[in-house]
Structure 1
Amino acid sequence: MASKRKNKKNILAKVNFPLYTVQMLTSRHVIVGGGGGTSKTGVENGFEIYEIFHDGHKFSAKEVTRHETGGNVVMNCCAFSDRKNSFLVAGQENYSQLYKVNTKLIEHEQVETVGDTASVRHRNTKPKEHVDNNKNIKKELAFDLNPLDCIQTDFKGSEPLCRVVRINHSGKILATGGTDGDVRLWKFPTMQPMSILKGHTKEIDDIDFSKFDNLIITLAKDGLAILWDAQTGKQKSKLTWKTPEGSKYLYKRCRFGVIEDQKNKCMLYMIANATNSKQASFLQQWIPEENTLKKFSEFNETLSALAVRDDGRFVAVGTMFSGSVSIHIAFSLQKLLVVVGAHSMFVTGLEFLSHENTNHSISSVAETAVLSISVDNQLCIHSVPYRRSIPLWIGIMVLVLVLFITFMLCAYMGL
């Protein structure tokens, strides 16, 4: 049974521009992007990077870096990091901008204030990894976004627009899609063209690589969901399903997950909206290579955002009209949490905190947590606490008691 709650005390940050894209940079740093475009409204365009904390009771965030992009709104982005380098690709108008993400440590003295007087005592208010052996000095991680290559990725007449950028999991291929309906593959991070996937007739809505980089899924406003072989660039199939009463549906977002205990097997999650907004929308679970719709969850409003946690255990969905966010168990699509009115306007992006339990991770404080953004300028977080379970020793005692009562009952009845 899903728990429901209204949006209370889960706003991490308020930015002074509408937000359209969200990505985790590290296990505890998130980047959001957006803006007001080229219009003379005074609304800026750019990125904000925040570090996320948990004080034992609630999540909070601190601004780390701000990067402005001039007159170019940031509509989408994708990050990739290995042990040597970190990169960010952002869709900005009709082109894709590649950034090198450099990290640096900033040191400053930390003084505890008692009343109106600065005390000589100093305290550690951040995790231990940020604090030098000299307790008066605090080290914090900051980021520089250095622009590198810039490539045009859409070529539709006088109004080209890059709609999607996605880097595969090995960091070797970049996929971009725009209003011209073509999906272009580029060598990453050299940004050299590789091939063009031609199968859609209208603008691209979403792209994703499978966890094993062997498949690509593309969605467009022509209503098609096309599965491609990522190695050859050849079309494998078009995913089709029997719509309710023959109604017309359009896919909006897609994300691959994994099937537990099955190597090289993937699950696919998509959201589908009816062209008639009065009809139900669906969160769907597919076995893509079998062209099989396995499960679905029904919603009574249009869906706008989708995320799958990196280990494939949880799925999150954002809505258009109510600005709500829901978290589901990926395997069954059962709802764990519904946050009604998480935003005052439609949800534009979702991103799970990493499940990896490292020294720098904050994911261990909850079973799962997802970040959400909207054009209401807010970055929010929604978490599912660990579900209670019966301790093993209590379970054993109950089992022994049941067996004892059963034995006594059978002896009493002479069985």
Structure 2
Amino acid sequence: MASLCKLDYPLYACQVLDGDHIVVGGGGGAAKTGVPNVVDVLMMQKVSGKLQADPCERLDTGDNSVMNMSVVNRSSENNFLLAIGLGGTCKIYSVRRTSKSNESGTDRNVRKRKPNKELKETHSNGVHSFEFNLLQTLETDFSPDEPLQKAVRISKDCKILITGGSDGHVRAWNIHDFSKRFFVKGHKDDVTDVDISPDGKDVVSVSRDGTAIILDSETGCKKLDLHVKWNSQMTTRNYRFRSCRYGVVVDDQKSYALFTAHAPIRPGRRADTKAPQGCITKWARKKASVGPLCPAIVQYTGREAISSMTISSDGVFLGLGFMEGSVAIYISFSLQCAKRVSNYHSIFVTGLSFLPPSDNAITGPCDAAVVSVSADNQCKVVKLSKRTLFPVWVGLLLVIVSVLAAAYILFELGII
């Protein structure tokens, strides 16, 4: 566990760029309180043996705080596509990493950050610079009172952009020319989360009204009502869908699974033993890749309400954030909890993102490392230690027993 940094504004979203850079966003909103509305690129580095992250680039977002974001690598480790939700709009940027600062063609709101001197001395490749190029601004929510984009996702192939708004609509655009793909009134209340399947064929959305649906990514036609399937297999209907994520199957990278997080409709106090628990669901097809999705595993997660969810790029781990600031890592195959850190943040967790599974140069040996952000202004990381076949104390006990047994045999033979 490590606290990477504390910034000067509430954090609402985060995404890992690569093994040592994170994008975070948030702000104080339209109120003139002096709290900035920005996107920061953080560079992680070990300094004197301690893991920390410092801003190396900042993008000013004006009067709107960043409430949600999505980042995808554009087939090059130095070129990324970034989408951020600002009020009822979505801004899409091309983000390019360079070794030297280059102001030409960048968004005029980008501010260069002064790198930490100690960091610069310990980073063998120097401090990278990032260029933000604004590609498009889209209107993504048309609520009459206060338009607000609630969720955004970019497909892995950078072809589709999906947004969900407080007006209950799921909207899709073609990224190459930002033309409309489909607008669907999928829910009666806020869309709280959206995602796109790894093959780009399906779109899933969940809402505060308790519903969850899968849409065809080409036409927007409904394929499945997830909430109907879920309610038919559960003994209670006192839950609503909170988050959704697709993840690749560990043993078959061409296949994928769907995971959803659920919160009680009427959550009770944590001390109340009769209060309903939050839960997560793994969805699978009954006959391999044939037939509709059905709930395969439902795992209860405790009396804290789930506030955010993410999945590692290799599909091995799920990350959960909770309303009381806790962070947990679950194994996606069985939905067993591998690690939980209670009250890690002082307030609810707003965003999570796993570091690349193969990059251990900074985090050190570990099976997984998930970055978390919160409205407490802090960015932290939870690491899952390397798994062993059995605990260390068991190994030591076996060694001691083996030595004593060998000594006894030698004694009986008269050798010692």
> TM tier, shorter chain?
0.7 to 0.9
Contact 1:187-1:193 within 8 A present in 2 as well: yes
Query: For the Cα contact (< 8 Å) 1:325–1:340, is it kept in 2?
Result: yes
2:358: which partner in 1? Answer: 356
Partner of 1:217: 204
Instruction: Give secondary structure in 2 for the equivalent of 1:266.
Output: strand
Give the Å deviation of 1:57.
5.0
CA distance in 1, matches of 2:239, 2:4: 35
SS of the equivalent of 1:241 reads helix
Where in structure 2 are there 5+ consecutive unaligned residues? 102-114, 269-275, 286-290, 407-416
Superposition pairs for residues 59-98 of structure 1, below 5 Å?
A: 59-83=51-75, 85-98=79-92
Contact residue 295 and residue 332 of structure 1 kept, 8 A? yes
Task: Give me the identity figure in percent.
Answer: 32
CA contact (8 A) 2:204 2:215 kept: yes
Structure 1: gaps spanning 5 or more residues: 1-8, 114-122, 131-138, 406-415
1:97-142 Cα shifts (integer Å, max 9, x gaps): 11121322249xx9x99xxxxxxxxx994354x0xxxxxxxx3212
**In the alignment, what sits opposite 2:370?**
370
Aligned to 1:158: 145
Corresponding residue number in structure 2 for 1:241:
230
* Paired residues of 1:75 and 1:163 also in contact (CA < 8 A): yes
Q: 1:124–1:26: structure 2 CA closer, same or farther, 3 Å change rule? A: closer
Residue 290 of structure 1: SS of its match in structure 2? strand
Distance 1:90 1:177, change over 3 A: same
Give the TM-score normalised by the residue count of structure 2: 0.81
Aligned to 2:35, which of 11, 34, 43?
Answer: 43
Contact 1:87 1:100 in 2 (8 A): yes
Task: Tell me the amino acid that sits aligned with residue 284 of structure 1.
Answer: T
- The aligned counterpart of 1:126 is 122
How much has 1:389 moved relative to structure 2?
Answer: 3.8
Alignment of 1:390-409 (within 5 A): none
Aligned to 1:192: 179
Aligned match of 1:253: 243
CA distance, structure 2, for counterparts of residue 255 and residue 233 of structure 1: 18
Once the two structures are TM-superposed, the CA of residue 245 in structure 1 deviates from its matched residue by 4.7
Give, in whole Å, the separation in 1 of the partners of 2:193 and 2:31. 26
After superposition, where does 1:12-27 map in structure 2 within 5 Å? 12-27=4-19
CA distance in 2, matches of 1:101, 1:263: 27
Cα displacement (A) at 1:59:
2.3
Alignment counterpart, residue 103 of structure 1, candidates 77, 84, 97: 97
Give the SS at the match of 1:342: coil
Q: 1:124 to 1:29 in 2, by over 3 A?
A: closer
In structure 1, the residue corresponding to 2:82 is in which secondary structure? strand
Residue 290 of structure 1 is aligned with which of 285, 289, 292?
292
Q: Is the 8 A contact 2:143 2:166 kept in 1?
A: yes
- Give the equivalent residue in structure 1 for 2:346: 344
CA contact (8 A) 2:325 2:345 kept: yes
Letter in 2 for 1:311: D
Distance (Å, rounded) in 1 between the aligned partners of 2:357 and 2:176: 27
Q: Residues 355 and 363 of structure 1 are in contact (CA less than 8 Å); yes or no, is this contact kept in structure 2?
A: no
Aligned length: 368
Partner of 2:257: 267
Residue type of the alignment partner of 1:286: W
- For 1:212 and 1:356, locate their aligned partners in 2 and report how far apart those are by CA, in whole Å: 23
Farther off after superposition, 246-255 or 75-84: 75-84
Conservation of the 8 A alpha-carbon contact between 2:19 and 2:359: no
Corresponding residue of 2:107: none
Question: 1:287: how far off?
Answer: 1.5
Report the alpha carbon displacement of residue 81 of structure 1 after superposing the two structures with TM: 2.2
Secondary structure, in 3 states, of the residue corresponding to 2:136?
A: strand
Moved more, 181-190 or 287-296: 287-296
Shift in Å at residue 211 of structure 1? 1.7
The aligned residue for residue 134 of structure 1 is none
Go from structure 1 to structure 2 and tell me whether the alpha carbon gap of 1:267 and 1:364 turns closer, same or farther (over 3 Å shift).
farther
Task: Give the deviation of 1:11 after TM superposition.
Answer: 0.9
Structure 2 SS opposite 1:82: strand
Partners of 2:62 and 2:180 in 1: how far apart?
Answer: 27
Counterpart of 1:136 in structure 2 is: none
Partner SS for 1:98: strand
Matches of 2:347 and 2:250, distance apart in 1: 35
Give 1:355 deviation, angstroms: 1.4
Note the C-alpha offset of 1:194.
1.4
- C-alpha deviation, 1:313, in angstroms: 0.3
Give CA-to-partner distance per residue, 1:209-240, whole Å, 9 cap, x none: 11222221110112111012223432111113
Deviation at 1:255, TM superposition (A): 0.7
One-letter amino acid of the structure 1 residue matched with residue 334 of structure 2: S
Shift of 1:318: 0.8
Alignment root-mean-square deviation, CA: 3.0
CA contact (8 A) 2:11 2:373 kept: yes
